[in-house]
Amino acid sequence: MASRRTSSVLLGTFRAASRRPATTWRQRCCYHSYEYNSPPPFPPAESAILSAALSHVPSYGFTADALRLGARDAGYMDVSTNLLPRGVFDLINYHLVSQRLALKNSVQFPSAGEQGKKLGTGSKVRTLTLARLRANEPIIHRWQEALAIMAQPSYAPASLAELARLADEMWYLAGDESVDSSWYTKRASLSAIYSATEVFMTQDTSKDFIETEKFLDSRLGDVMKIGGFIGALTEWTDYTRHSAVNVLRSKGMRV
Amino acid sequence: MNAHSARALIRGQLLAGGRRAVGSVEREQYRCFSCTVRQAQQQQTPPKTAQNKDGTTHFGFETVAEALKEQKVRGVFSSVASSYDTMNDLMSLGIHRLWKDHFVRNLNPGRNPLTSGPSEQKGWNILDIAGGTGDIAFRMLDHASTINHDAHTKVTVADINPEMLAEGRKRALETPYARSSRLNFIEANAEKLDMIPDSSIDLYTVAFGIRNFTHKEAAIREAYRVLKPGGVFAVLEFSKVNNGLFDAVYKRWSFSAIPLIGQLVAGDRDSYQYLVESIERFPSQTEFRDMIKDAGFLVPGQGWEDLTGGIAAIHKGVKPA
């Protein structure tokens, strides 16, 4: 009796040890570093089901049917979709996360020396935004369904967080190194522009999404203009304030 | 009438026998309303070990021989079978129906023939353990038929207790499934499901049952054996309340009101005292999630979903394919 118990204890520890690699999936690094090789964002079984399900999205949309077909393709059963606690939103989330992480490999900027003129941060952001929008192309006719699900109250916080992560990733890849308050405004404005353009793209019927590209350019132009206007306004206010103080001082006032 | 009195006699003997066998239980024989509350608060944190070294286990807050627990649990459920539904409604204020509906809707049983196309397998094969009164089984079949238009999904209801099964059979007569092959009842111990072949079940459910098992790990291992690769193990069970204030209110309710309701409505205080004690002894969400993981299941997300602030929780595990 005793020996059996010890053997089962041993078996338990062995099992725990062999399971350890699987649990490291969930460990997250709490800082962003290009030197740190981040672990895959989804455990293997989930990503097998979700990536298979994504291939059914063009014909079945973001629905439970696509998930079920994906599970079957991955060697699981209909019932196994219970592995995804948020159901269809997990499928959308998988698309968002995997496309965000794909950006750093799909977009390569030429280094400064080769091409003569160095690409500015602004045009890098434009290239990255376009690349991310192009990644929606195969499922764009179903994307409104996904937007509707993302807007549901229970999923909205997660969707907005993912949008923020996308904006951050794009600025990071564009080589932005700002450490002042523009860090926030850059990310906020890019999030707004990206989501507006994405909605525009769902209704774009032009060839090769030319209209979407134009829309994006004019939104980026707006931000430049607003940014330039705010910059000029700040400079003018600053100058006027200084001059006013100096005029008052010249009159003998102790300011 | 005759049967009822006989059952009452048996119950009396069982409970008395149990008490006598246990002998020096650290509990007074006489328990008034206030004693129960005090006792509950004194014994808030009973030792966690499920099985002690000398072959004993817990029965509520009592410690009994492992061999006795099964018998005692059987006694409890035999005595509550007839008033089971009324009591559940009174104790949970009707919320248990919402939990069960949510549990079934979330699992989404049934294979929709319109969207899934022709395939060798028709419908799911569901095993509902400790589901004697058929609560979960009827909901599963209703969901499969009306939501997924599936006329093939089968549910096997297994329970250790013949009285509960009799209650379920009686209730099945009021549903369309009574004489169909989609529903059948078997008397079985969840730790030894010898009549069920390996890898034959799509969905294994236990609703408010696993708490009473003598060897929970053995039952989970048995579930792993009977499930097909990719099959789902789903448990609806009482759990731990997350909010401290709400927990205080909930403890007050469960340790004082529930035994009292049991005494007044079902005329059986001891069974309901056992019920609340067994809820208290059941592992927390994380511990139970780890038990499911240790049996080899993959758990979705964090592994559980809290219901009503953690009074109950749904745990799931998926057998890897």
Q: What does the pLDDT look like over B237-274, one tens digit per residue?
A: 999 999 999 999 999 988 998 899 888 887 888 888 88
**Known binding positions of B for S-adenosyl-L-methionine:** 133, 159, 189-190
Q: How do residues A29-54 score in pLDDT, each as one tens digit?
A: 556 666 677 778 889 999 999 999 99
Q: What share of chain B in percent tops pLDDT 90?
A: 44
- The pTM of the full predicted model, rounded to 2 decimals, is 0.77
Chain A nearest-CA distance from B299, in A, is 7
Distance CA B78, CA B10 (A): 10
The number of residues making up chain B comes to: 321
B chain contacts of residue A91, beta-carbon cutoff 8 Å? none
Whole-number pLDDT of residue B19: 44
pLDDT, chain A, mean: 85
> Can you say which residues of B are annotated as belonging to the binding site?
133, 159, 189-190
End-to-end CA distance of chain A: 92
Question: Distance, in angstroms, between A49 CA and closest chain B CA?
Answer: 11
Q: Are the Cβ atoms of A86 and B301 closer than 8 angstroms? A: yes
Query: Which residues on chain B are in Cβ contact (under 8 Å) with A43?
Result: 298
Residue B27 has pLDDT above 60, yes or no: no
**Which of A81 and B271 is assigned the larger pLDDT?**
A81
Cross-chain CB nearest to B115 (options A65, A76, A81):
A65
Radius of gyration of chain B (CA): 20
B301 to A85: CB separation less than 8 angstroms, yes or no: yes
**B321/A45 touch (CB, cutoff 8 Å), yes or no:** yes
B221 — contact with chain A (CB < 8 Å)?
A: no
**The two structure tokens encoding residue A128:** 């990255």
- Angle value at C-alpha B286, between B281 and B288, nearest 5 degrees: 55
- Chain A nearest CA to B130, separation (Å): 21
pLDDT band at A100 (very low <50, low <70, confident <90, very high): very high
pLDDT at B193 over 70: yes
Task: Please answer yes or no on whether A45 and B124 come within 8 Å at the CB atom.
Answer: no
Which chain A residue has its CA at the smallest distance from B234's CA?
Answer: A82
Question: How many Cβ contacts (< 8 angstroms) between chains A and B?
Answer: 65
Tell me the pLDDT band of B9, cut-offs 50, 70 and 90: very low
Report the distance separating Cα B171 and Cα B132, nearest Å: 10
Asked if residues B159 and B168 have their Cβ atoms less than 8 Å apart, the reply is yes
**What pLDDT shows up at residue B28?**
47
Q: How close A5 gets to chain B, by Cα (Å)?
A: 10
CATH fold label, A92-255: Tetracycline Repressor; domain 2 (1.10.357)
Q: Is the pLDDT of residue B73 over 70?
A: yes
| Mean pLDDT calculated for residue range A228-240 | 92
Q: A10, A79, A89, A91: best mutation site toward chain B, by most B Cβ within 10 Å?
A: A79
Q: What are chain B's domains? A: 2-82+242-280 (no CATH), 109-239+284-318 (3.40.50.150)
Which residue carries 């709400």 as its tokens? B246
Looking at beta carbons, which pairs linking B81-85 to residues 24 or more positions away fall under 8 Å? B81/B132, B81/B133, B81/B161, B81/B163, B81/B164, B81/B166, B81/B167, B82/B163, B82/B167, B83/B265, B83/B266, B84/B133, B84/B164, B84/B167, B85/B133
Quick one: what percent of chain B has pLDDT higher than 70?
Answer: 82
Cα dihedral angle (A233, A234, A240, A244), rounded to 10 degrees? 140
User: How does B24-34 read in b/e, with b if 16+ C-beta sit within 10 Å?
Assistant: ebeeeeeeeee
| Residue in A43, A78, A82 closest to B111 by CB | A78
Specify the range with the lowest mean pLDDT, choosing from A60-64, A145-149, B2-6, B203-207: B2-6
Is A76 in CB contact (< 8 Å) with chain B? yes
Looking at the complex, report in whole angstroms how far the Cα of residue B163 sits from the nearest Cα belonging to chain A.
Answer: 31
Please provide the distance, in angstroms rounded to a whole number, between the alpha carbons at the two ends of chain B: 52
* B305 CB within 8 Å of a chain A CB: yes
Classify the C-alpha dihedral A108-A110-A112-A116 as positive or negative.
Answer: negative
Domain ranges of chain A: 38-84, 92-255
B194's tokens:
């010898």
- Residue B167 contacts residue B84 (beta carbons within 8 Å): yes
Lowest mean pLDDT among A150-159, B1-10, B180-189, B194-203: B1-10
Q: Is A75 on the interface with B (CB under 8 A)?
A: yes
Is the pLDDT score of B18 beyond 50? no
E strands in chain B:
56-59, 62-65, 125-129, 154-159, 183-187, 201-207, 227-238, 304-307, 312-318
Check if the beta carbon of residue A110 is closer than 8 Å to that of residue A119: yes
